[in-house]
Amino acid sequence: MFGVNAGAAFAVVVGIAVFGVATVGGWVWFALGGAAVAGTGAYALGSLGRGGATPVRLALAGAAVTALLGGLTTALTLLDRNSFTVYRFWSVGALTSVDAATIGAVLPLLAAGGVLAAVSARTLDALAFGDDLARSLGQRVAAGRVTAAVAVVLLTGTAVALAGPIAFVGLTAPHMARAVTGPVHRWLLPYAAVLAAAVLLAADVLGRVVARPQELQAGIVTAIAGAPLFIALVRRRTPAQL
């Protein structure tokens, strides 16, 4: 979302094509850098003009950044055969290449991202009412935004490096959690994390069952099932509810 996934994916392709990186442990640093640059660029683009960064502007800016980086990623993989060979399997999104050793190597990054997300929960609640009210409630708006952004970069970049740019999980799981917890982030964030993991695991199991003896990658299952679900959520809710 907001181009973060696309930035991480493009940076990984650069790591493969330009620097010859061939392991998840190496990809993760490229993914984190790409996620940070893309997220910052989308936020800066969405903040231009009067009114600052609104949800609609950020969504449009994220879509523009995603389209740009997606085109660059495609161009790079077509120009480099080795990059295309590695990227075409990774980009589908699957859990088959993730093992305990790999998770252990990136666990500190995931833990740091989780802690920062939890710390930013109260600030996110205040920011939902606008910057002025958040400041009047004693929140440091700029620091809160930076904390939340770093959490997004750490969690998203690491996840993309591990399993590929799996679509729609990060879009649908928060809305599912919001239906249970309401908008309060101290409950919304942990519920969304658990639901996202459950959705991804269910997609992985479903892909193994429906395509036996072959396997349908989890990224394909989430795209097929997630697109109509997200469309239904958008149609049933107002922009304020989203």
Domain boundaries, the chain: 166-242
Q: How many Cβ atoms sit within 10 Å of the Cβ of residue 142?
A: 10
H helices of 48-99, where?
55-79, 81-90
Per-residue pLDDT tens digits for 109-136 = 999 999 999 999 998 888 888 778 888 8
Quote the distance between the C-alpha of residue 240 and its chain's center: 22
Quick one: pLDDT at residue 167?
A: 77
Q: What is the pLDDT of residue 187?
A: 94
Average pLDDT over residues 192-198: 92
Distance CA 194, CA 34 (A): 26
Q: What is the DSSP string of 147-170?
A: HHHHHHHHHHHHHHHHH----SHH
Q: How far apart are CA 141 and CA 129, in angstroms?
A: 12
Instruction: Tell me how long the chain is.
Output: 242
Contacts for 90 with CB less than 8 Å, ≥ 6 apart: 12, 97, 164
pTM of the model: 0.81
C-alpha dist (Å) from residue 199 to 8, 92, 167: 22, 16, 12
Contact assessment for residue 172 and residue 199, using Cβ atoms and an 8 Å cutoff: yes
6-64 pLDDT, tens per residue?
898 899 889 888 888 878 778 888 989 998 899 888 888 887 877 666 777 888 888 89
Residue 34: name the closest of 199, 204, 142, 160 by CA.
160
- For residue 188, what pLDDT is reported? 94
> Do 72 and 79 meet the contact criterion of CB atoms below 8 Å apart?
no
pLDDT for 146 beyond 60: yes
| Token output for 157 | 């970049």
Q: How far is CA 220 from the centre of its chain?
A: 16
Mean pLDDT of all residues in 134-161: 87
